[in-house]
Amino acid sequence: MGTVTVRKIDDDVIRDLRISAARRGVSMEQEARDRLRSPQTQDHGSEPVESAGNKPPWRLKASMEELLALGRKLPHGEFDQKDESDRLYDYLEQHDGHSMTMSDKQILLIICGGIAAYKSLDLIRRLRERGASVRCVMTKAAQEFVTPLSVGALTAGHVFTDLFDRQDEHDVGHIRLSREADLIVVAPATADLMAKLAGGHANDLASAVLMATDKKVLMAPAMNPSMWSHPATRRNRAQLEKDGILFVGPNTGEMAESGEAGTGRMAEPLEIAAAVELLLDTRPKPLAGRRIIVTSGPTHEPIDPVRYIANRSSGKQGHAIAAALARLGADVRLVSGPVAIPDPAGVRTIHVERAEEMRDAVEQLMPADAAIFVAAVADWRAEGAADQKIKKVAGDGPPVLRMVENPDILATVGHHRKRPWLVVGFAAETQDVLKNAEAKLAKKGADFIVANDVSGSVMGGDRNRVTIVSKSGVQEWPEMGKDEVAARLAGLIAERLKTTAV
């Protein structure tokens, strides 16, 4: 794969790349690569147009449903029904996709040592332009990548670097830092700092602040994919989530190291800023006080240590639903099968691989107000997974795999003694979609079924067309982006839960 470096890009182009990348949940580098691969038509959401005046040469392209959904979130008076798309595009270009949503909020940003530390400079800017005040703590390793001078220039304040600084610690400064912030953000969060906090160590300023705080902590991990997938890191993350630490990312893509790719890229600054906005949003929310379980992604049923039974589910729709419910104030617990997308911000995520693990995780999370079963759970598994790789033997033919049925998680919960007040199932079908969904509704004990035809490119794609099937009737929704499906479904769930006491 060749490498191309482009310099002196116009600010308008950079801004538009940043907005478009944030909307798609990808890095700016990936957004640029996708545009270069297909310069004429952009299925993912952008198209080239002629520059005019100070308009950027690239503009976002979205469905009218997505634009109107965005418009409903904008301040009153910013747009009207005439030329909605142009007005919304202009709003995005004028405001860079944000508004002063963090006025009077104090963020403590802890920067750890890693190549992704350079992104923390942009993150400071993104937080401040939303109205937040930002203080920074830098580890010794972080100062090898970015300087306190650069960080201080962007925060317009003192940068804290030493636990034993005579001036900063005369009034036990690390305690003051940990308590005065509204939220602590660790970006990048290295494997080392995660291990320290999981083990309760406090031998430098960053770890001492994190141990002393009584505020929420949001971590944006960044490390090599092998480090992220290491059993020690997985254990530490699980412990930190159990302790109440929240995560955004990491993302999947190319690493700074040549030839390295996988999951471990730090979330983009705009993604982190969006997660911070969500956590600090104190406006009344319709699902506040509600606990909702969501399942997402596929399951992997092992045949031997190398092979497994799976399906094409990407987890995009389930993760989008979890994020949409969290934005409405719900305490969302996401049980995710193996996926290549980051955990949604503001959501507690439990990672599993097999159907039995997913069932057990869901049962442990009950009772709940609602359960949304989006995961594409394998119907069957091998009766006994081999301990060693099954070898091909010439002349013996293929091995015989004895299959057993996996647990039906939707039916289990739908008829459970701790059944949530609202149970929603998904039906991914390739034929007789409505007929199969109605049968599933009657059999599984669900309140309604979200049915979709997956014979095309729905699995792994960014768009979906669903039909809501309930005892009261059938409602067909038009094709739209999966984020918009998620937003509409979250609204429907909130409406259903209105009639029950919190």
- Which residue numbers are catalytic? 311
Which amino acid type is present at position 50? Answer: E
Helices (H), 148-300: 148-155, 173-180, 191-199, 205-212, 225-229, 231-242, 269-280
User: Which tokens hold the place of 185?
Assistant: 């953000």
DSSP code per residue over 55-83: --SEEE---HHHHHHHHHHSPTTS--STT
Longest dimension (CA), the chain: 79
Q: What is the CA radius of gyration of the chain?
A: 24
User: 284 in helix, strand or coil?
Assistant: coil
User: 271 in helix, strand or coil?
Assistant: helix
User: Which tokens hold the place of 441?
Assistant: 């509704």
**DSSP H or E run through 463:** strand 463-464
Residue with tokens 């060693």: 388
User: Which tokens hold the place of 296?
Assistant: 């997402």
Residue 363, phi then psi, degrees to nearest 5: -65, -35
User: 136 in helix, strand or coil?
Assistant: strand
DSSP structure class, residue 292: E
